[in-house]
Chains A and B, each alone.
Chain A
Amino acid sequence: MDIIWITTLVIAVIAVLVAVGLVYAGKKFAVKVDERVVAIRGKLPGNNCGACGFAGCDALAAAISAGEAPVNACPVGGGPVAEAIGDIMGTKAGAMERKTAFVACKGTCEVTKNQGNYTGIQDCRAAVLSGMNITDCTYGCLGFGSCAEVCPEQAISVVNGVAVVNRSRCVSCGLCVKTCPRGLISLIPESRIVRVQCSNRDKGPVVRKICSAGCIGCGLCAKQCEFGAIEFDGTLARVNPEKCTLCGKCAAKCPAKVITTPVN
Chain B
Amino acid sequence: MKSLIMIIIGSALISNVVLNQFLGICSFLGVSKQMKASISLGAAVIFVITIASAVASLLYDNVLKPLGMDFMKTIIFILVIAALVQIVEMFLKKKSPAVYQSLGIYLPLITTNCAVLGVALNNVKDGFNFIESVASGFGTALGYTIAIVLLAGIRSRINEKDLPAPLRGAPIVMIAAALMSIAFMGFGGLNI
Contacts and interface: CB of A to CB of B under 8 A. Distances in A.
Interface in B73-132: 75-76, 79-80, 83, 86-87, 90-91, 93-95
A22 B94 CA distance: 14
Interface residues of B, number: 17
Nearest to A24: B87
Contacts of A30: 94
A25 B93 CA distance: 11
Interface in A1-32: 3, 6-7, 10-11, 14-15, 18, 21-22, 25-26, 28-31
Nearest to A13: B63
B67 interface: yes
A162 B67 CA distance: 79
Contacts of A25: 86-87, 90-91
Contacts of A22: 83, 86-87
A30 B91 CA distance: 9
B80 A31 contact: no
Contacts of B5: none
A29 B94 CA distance: 5
The 9 closest A-B pairs by CB, nearest first: A29-B94, A29-B90, A18-B83, A25-B87, A25-B90, A31-B93, A7-B69, A31-B94, A29-B91
Interface of B: 63, 67-69, 72, 75-76, 79-80, 83, 86-87, 90-91, 93-95
Interface of A: 3, 6-7, 10-11, 14-15, 18, 21-22, 25-26, 28-31
22 contacts: A3-B69, A6-B67, A6-B68, A7-B67, A7-B69, A7-B72, A10-B63, A10-B69, A11-B75, A14-B63, A14-B76, A14-B80, A18-B79, A18-B83, A21-B83, A21-B87, A25-B86, A26-B90, A29-B93, A30-B94, A31-B93, A31-B94
